[in-house]
Amino acid sequence: MNADPNADLAGYETIVAVTGGIAAYKVCEVVSRLVQRGAGVTVAMTRAGRHFVTPLTFQALSGRPVLTDLWKTHGPAEIPHIDLTTYADLLLVAPATANTIGKIAGGLADDVVTNLVLSADCPVMIAPAMNNRMWANAAVQRNVATLRRDGKLIVGPGEGWLACRSVGPGRMIEAAEIVEAVVGQLKKILPKAVEKRSEQRT
């Protein structure tokens, strides 16, 4: 997939981690927009996430294989959830379900997405998406507060019509808003690849 020659995110590497929420369909647009702006995008998906959007869709949009299995490697020394986060400039979890948020807040790592987050050597951005009553639950709010204290970047949620036919907070913010949040964070830093080249010259 060819990026726009004037793309402003050329050189940046991102990981987009998709978990099991209906808002996963919005993440297709997030990935497409980031790629069009020149960013390298690697998608990882939980098993639940694959019920909503297929890995093939994200592979077509990103131009890269999708990471779905913690145990599958592509080379003799490769550990995907470690290697990917070594080179990533940002990790986005979207949609981030109540379950995933709880696991990240508790430091658990039982799937490819939570392992990526736990091993991340870059900013982690989280876009919550859930029912309004789940979002209001005291346990969820404690977990979100923990993530903020741990330095995670929380974007959203918004308010509106939810898949459960309720109206209220919990809706994942729109793709364009997520992309702008990602861009704003990335542009605060140099791409790791550029930093490494600079170090090699000195």
Question: Angle at CA 162, nearest 5°, toward 58 and 25?
Answer: 10
Cα 69 to chain centroid distance, Å, stands at 16
Q: Per-block average pLDDT, block size 10, for the chain (202 residues)?
A: 69 96 95 97 96 96 92 58 84 97 96 94 95 92 97 87 62 95 94 65 50
Among residues 50, 54, 121, 64, the alpha carbon closest in space to that of 91 is found at 121
Whether 122 is catalytic is: no
Confidence (pLDDT) at 170: 79
pTM (predicted TM-score): 0.88
Confidence (pLDDT) at 192: 86
Which domains does the chain possess? 13-201 (3.40.50.1950)
Confidence (pLDDT) at 77: 47
**Are 35 and 43 in contact, with CB atoms under 8 Å apart?**
no
For 2, residues 6+ apart whose C-beta sits below 8 A from its C-beta are none
Distance separating alpha carbons of residues 37 and 10, to the nearest angstrom: 7
Set 60, 109, 118, 164: catalytic member: 164
Q: Which helix (H) or strand (E) holds 158?
A: strand 158-161
